[in-house]
Amino acid sequence: MEKILEVNDLQIDFDTFAGSVKAIRNVNFHLNKGETLAIVGESGSGKSVTVRSIMGLLANNAKVASGSIDFKGRDILKLSNREIEKIRGNDISMIFQDPMTSLDPTMPIGKQVAEPLLIHGNVSKKKAMARAEEVLELVGITNAKNRMKDYPHQFSGGQRQRIVIAIAIVNYPEILIADEPTTALDVTIQAQIIDLMKELQNKIETSIIFITHDLGVVAGIADRVAVMYAGKIIEYGSVDEIFYNPQHPYTWGLLNSMPTLDTDSDRLYAIPGTPPNLLNPPRGDAFAPRNPYAMQIDYQAMPPFFKVSDTHYAATWLLHPDAPKTEPPVAIRKRQEEFRRLVAEGKITQPENDEGGVKDDAE
Amino acid sequence: MADNTSDIKLNADSFKPVAANNVDEQEKISAPSLTFFQDAIRRLRKNKAAVFSFWLLAIIIFISIVSIWWTPSDPNAQHVAYANLPPKIANGNIPGFTGKANVGGNIVDKYAAAKVPKGTYYVLGTDYLGRDLFSRLMKGVALSLLIGLLATLFDLVIGVPYGIISGWKGGKTDTIMQRIIEIISSIPNLVVVILMLLLFTPGLGSIVVAMGITGWITMARLVRAETLTLKTQEYILAAQTLGESPFRIALKHLIPNLSSTIIIQTMFSIPTAIFFEAFLSFIGIGIPAPNASLGTLLSDGQKTFRFLPYQMWYPAAVISIIMIAFNLLADGLRDAFDPKTQE
Amino acid sequence: MQNNPQPNERKKLIEVKHLKQYFNAGRRNEVKAIDDISFDIYEGETFGLVGESGSGKSTTGRSIIRLYNPTSGEIKFNGTDISKIKHKDMLQFRREMQMIFQDPYASLNPRMKVKDIIAEGLDIHHLVKTDEERDARVNELLDLVGLSHDHATRYPHEFSGGQRQRIGIARALAVEPRFIIADEPISALDVSIQAQVVNLLRDIQKEQNLTYLFIAHDLSMVKYISDRIAVMHNGRLMELSTANEVYNHPLHPYTKSLLSAVPLPDPFYERNRHRKNYDNSIENDGQIRSLQEIVPGHFVLATEEEVAGYQAAAEEYNLGD
């Protein structure tokens, strides 16, 4: 599988009056061509900062302390502003959370969709408008031809998000970054937008990085999942591996705290406490204080990634060969059983074979 | 990545489970507690221009307070013999304060010519009636600051409650109150003052009344707009559902959250008022003679500007400094209270 | 999730009858936020109100707590019409009914210390006499919501979203209410924190025998916390029944479409999910619809003629079980 983007050892600090906040702490991941990678995490886990650094959209007080982001053989972090502008909206584009604020209320939507074309491509205005119409049709704006001159306020929230997506894909970007694109939408609209994104991915063969905190959405859209906590990726693997065979106690906690249809118990599982303050990140595993499975080593040293399968890695000391055998929570064991059953019935394929046996993440 | 395990010394205890954690411990907040105002002042301190302006204004205000009881000499006492003396300090060694002037191409010691006794000198010279300009300037600045104080008072006593009531009540009340403001603000200030002259003699009284009629309007508008957004905030709704009375909501929730708007707007309305007074006095419908104000000093100085420029330079410099200092401080406060506007 | 088979025998704490709430009534920009809804909430239950944005669910909550005056209709709390509460009894009403808000960032006054926020109700209702008593009560409430005593002197901006929401809950509980309206209390929180807050709400309910109106758009959480659920759309109630009935045996097409859109953390389910679309036009065919009881305790917005169809559908579910 071809890697289209590779983030290596990324470290980003924010200068605040209280000191330097270590927002991203040694993050490594890559994006394969044509896949959807979901980055899951709570607010403050660093998922948005990570993708903003790819777009060169970091806040003024952010400082890249180390690392590289390789895209097409170039390190994005070392590019000048002008070079990044050439990539932004052309090779890599982004969809933001709020469709209300991502559109210019004073500009007709046809013009807004055509704008990236006029900036990046050497096309005539007429051609650009024709393309804009085509793309609006593609994202499901009915009667796009007659609505090109309409203004954003004349569309509903769901339609506006479709227009935002149209702007993002009008240049057929190689990478589409979606930062919580459905969080501000109602469930029915959310389902439509997710379906649309899946459909578009097939049509224009783009790779997607999908940022969200909603595990339900991840299950529906992702091929691979990376779970972030306190500025680090703590587990990554294929979507089936993460949902049916999670290894990190934080992933367990996340999956467990969502009520499912058959949750009838009296209490939901809740991860106790709150995420750590990244002003002084803990020495060991940042999740240790909230982890019911914590061991002494968790307070002393950051766990490295342990291999679960060729595509599945988790950073928890529980996977160390010397660690005592732990039973995951009941709901997680149920998931594992369910997974075995589905595989046995041939309804899903074993993840090891999922990627065609290609070894990535070998480093 | 997976092989950096070797750096860490593992021992038998490493994989011992740790007892359940105290949740309280995790939720401890270690950062020092900063109130909103402390945080704002911290930001203000970083703004050098604002800090400098603050101290400059503090000195000016101190001197003005002193002038209530003491000035170098009586600001209204006339010594026709000592008219139009140039500035002089002590023995006249400092350039610009030598007490000498150019009369018909010759440098003349005006103090000697006027037979001023040794040891008597005027720091900023005297005017055409021989009045001490420094004392008059002190009085003038004090008067300007008094005007500024009154403007603040009107802002707070009329503008703030007017804005809060209009914004909070909404509906018809708001519409009527806003129409009243529009009518008032459509009459030029100057017209109001001239109308006042029909009722009162020119002086502080008519200026104050004119300000009382129009000066608080910007404040009222800003406070209303802010109140409109604040009243939909959920903590205001929470106070309502707890049964808090509107008056107490205004006191406990609205005013503390309006305070930054109020402080900033006050800082902007003070120089406006000072300039308004100076302007009226300059055109002769403000403070009547013989009382000093920055406007009358400028007006007097302007008449002899070609021959005795110092009579206008100093009051002009002082009013400029006061205006700039207030504006810089107001800008600094706005950035400090509302960090969003900084970029 | 105590599904009482005879809900009629239980005491009604809230009765909403033909409530209408129009904004800008009679003008060109009239908005029918709530258009004739009726329901009851029984003492001790959790009543879930589900709907998408603009469905009128939050407006319903705010009308019940008298933040708005209804255009028409009647809301009874504990047998008395809340629009007829006299000024002197208003304070008592404000004590008995409380609200938890959606946005943990906007619901706490940024200029007040946590202890003054929590004690606001205590001060208004003069529930404490001395400062020591006030501090003791605030500490008690902090314990109740799982915050530590030294948080009392801090300011809201120092807390995380979940902690702020717990402060908001403590403020509501300070006046010892009987009925709490929770207006999307968890939708602004992270997943792991949502569970904390939901558990807290349940624990308090058991401990203090509270009645909840739980307003939300997240169906899975509502199903988990509620005894009965009403589905709201365009200012009207579409369906009302026990949580299990609405979830497992939905009758109204809108409810079905809503349920089919809820994403679940299960990739296999998601791959095979079939979304059902809801056609808005069936609401606007000019026929008069009202909530009809299809099977005991299960109401659907329907015309007289449509009842038979829904009954047949309900029958099918029963055969399927």
Residues in chain C with CB shorter than 8 Å from the CB of B244 are 120, 124
How far, in Å, CA of A177 to CA of A185, rounded? 18
Contact partners of A by the rule of 3+ C-beta pairs under 8 A? Answer: B, C
Distance from CA of A84 to the nearest CA of B (A): 22
Give the Cα separation of B54 and B50 in Å (integer). Answer: 6
Confidence check: pLDDT of B6 > 80: no
Residue ranges covered by each domain of chain A = 98-170, 241-354
How high is the pLDDT of residue A357?
36
Q: Could you tell me the CA-to-CA distances from B256 to B132, B241, C164 in Å, in that order?
A: 46, 20, 20
B27 contacts C148? CB cut-off 8 A: yes
CA distance A85 to A73: 17
Instruction: Search chain B and give the residue with CA nearest A301.
Output: B8
Interchain pair A295, B30: CB under 8 A = no
Class of the CATH-defined domain C9-320: alpha beta
Strand partners, C49: C215, C230
For residue A122, give the H/E element and its range.
none
Report the alpha-carbon distance of residue B266 to residue B329 in Å, rounded. 11
Report the pLDDT averaged over residues A337-344. Answer: 85
* CA distances in angstroms from B226 to B162, B180, B244, B336, listed in the order given: 12, 19, 20, 18
Using an 8 Å CB-CB cutoff, list chain C residues near A43.
161, 190
The answer to whether the CB atoms of A213 and C191 lie below 8 A apart is yes
Radius of gyration of chain B (CA): 29
Q: Which residues of chain C make contact with A275, given a CB cutoff of 8 A?
A: 160
Say how many CA atoms lie within 13 Å of B94 toward its Cβ: 9
For the segment C248-262, the average pLDDT, to the nearest whole number, is 91
Backbone angles phi, psi at B20, to 5 degrees: -50, 140
Shortest Cα distance, chain A CAs vs residue B235, angstroms: 22
Mean of pLDDT values over A42-49: 88
Q: Determine the Cα–Cα distance for residues C64 and C82; give it in Å rounded to an integer.
A: 8
Q: What per-residue string of b and e applies to B280-310 under the rule 16 or more CB within 10 Å gives b? A: bbbeebbbeeebbbbbbbbbbbeeeeeebeb
pLDDT tens for B70-117 read 888 888 888 788 877 888 777 767 777 777 777 777 777 777 777 777
CA B250/CA B248 separation, integer angstroms:
5
Among candidates A157, A195, A240 on the partner chain, residue whose Cβ is nearest the Cβ of C267: A240
Beta strand spans in chain B (E): 100-103, 106-109
Beta bridge partners of C34: C21
> Which ipTM did the prediction report?
0.85
Inform me whether the pLDDT recorded for A187 exceeds 80. Answer: yes
Identify which of C67, C112, C146 has the shortest CB distance to residue B23: C146
Describe the strand order of the beta sheet including C179-183 as a list of residue ranges.
C97-100, C179-183, C211-216, C46-51, C228-233, C236-242, C298-302, C290-295
Q: Residues of chain C whose C-beta is under 8 A from some C-beta in B?
A: 62, 65, 67, 90-91, 94-95, 97-99, 101-103, 106-112, 117, 120-121, 124-125, 146-148, 150-151, 153-155, 158-159, 163, 168, 171-172, 175
- SS3 letters across A25-85: EEEEEEEECCCEEEEECCCCCCHHHHHHHHHCCCCCCEEEEEEEEEECCEEHHHCCHHHHH
CB contact under 8 A, B238 and C168: yes
Cα-based distances in Å from A119 to A87, A110, A207, C105 = 11, 15, 22, 39
Residue of higher predicted confidence among A273 and C48: C48
Nearest partner of B121 among B135, B138, B108, B107, judged by Cα:
B135
Q: What is the pLDDT of residue B215?
A: 86
Stretch A17-45: mean pLDDT:
90
Q: How far is CA B21 from CA A273, B208, B217, C163, C200, in A?
A: 9, 67, 58, 18, 19
Angle between helices B171-186 and B204-214 (to 10 degrees): 140
Q: Is the dihedral of CA B36, B41, B42, B47 positive or negative?
A: positive
Can you list the domains of chain B with their CATH numbers? 43-75+131-342 (1.10.3720.10)
- How many Å is the Cα radius of gyration of chain A? 21
Q: Do A272 and B23 touch (CB under 8 A)?
A: yes
Backbone φ and ψ for B305, nearest 5 degrees, come out as -55, -40
Q: In chain A, which among 287-346 make CB contacts under 8 A with chain B? A: 288-290, 292-301, 304-307, 313, 317, 320, 322-324
Task: Specify the pLDDT at position A362.
Answer: 37
What lies within 8 Å, CB to CB, of B75 at 6+ separation is B131, B132, B135, B136, B138, B139, B292
User: Quick one: pLDDT at residue B343?
Assistant: 34
Q: What is the DSSP letter of B131?
A: -
pLDDT, tens digit (0-9, with 9 covering 90-100), for A210-253: 999 889 899 999 999 999 999 999 999 999 999 999 999 999 99
End-to-end CA distance of chain C: 20
Nearest chain C residue to B234, by CA: C107
Q: What is the pLDDT of residues B115-163, one digit of tens each?
A: 777 777 787 888 888 888 888 899 889 988 998 899 899 999 999 999 9
* Residues of chain C contacting residue A42, judged by C-beta atoms under 8 Å apart: 190-193
Q: What percent of chain B has pLDDT over 90?
A: 31
**pLDDT class of B312 with cuts at 50, 70, 90:** confident
CB burial string A4-22: b at 16+ within 10 A, e below: bbebbebbbbbeeeeeebb
At B101 the three-state DSSP class reads strand
Does the bond joining A173 to the residue before it have cis omega, within 30 degrees of 0?
no
Residues constituting chain C:
321
Q: Give me the helices (H) in B188-309, please.
A: 189-199, 204-214, 217-230, 234-241, 246-249, 255-282, 294-303
Alpha-helical regions (H) of chain A: 47-55, 81-87, 109-120, 125-138, 144-147, 157-169, 187-204, 215-221, 239-244, 249-256, 296-300, 330-344, 351-354
Average pLDDT estimate for A164-177? 91
Q: How far is C175 from chain B (nearest CA, A)?
A: 8
Contact C111 B257 (CB under 8 A): yes
Q: Is C55 exposed, middle or buried (0-12, 13-18, 19+ CB in 10 A)?
A: buried
Cβ-Cβ contacts under 8 Å for B94 (sequence gap 6 or more): none
Looking at chain C from residue 209 to 268, which residues have their Cβ under 8 Å from any Cβ of chain A?
217-221, 223-224, 247, 257-258, 260-268
Report how far residue C199's alpha carbon sits from residue B23's, in angstroms, rounded to the nearest whole number.
15
- CA–CA gap between residue B63 and residue B140 (Å, rounded): 11
Segments making up each domain of chain C, as ranges: 9-320
Cα dihedral A195, A196, A200, A203 sign = positive
CA C163 – CA C145 distance, rounded (Å)? 9
Q: Residue C6 has what pLDDT?
A: 52
pLDDT, residue C134, reads 95
The 10 Å Cβ neighbour count of residue B246 is 15
Q: Which residues of B touch C155 (CB under 8 A)?
A: 33-36
pLDDT reading at B2 higher than 60:
no
B338 reaches C (C-beta below 8 A) = no
First to last CA, chain A: 16
Q: Is the pLDDT of residue C194 over 50?
A: yes
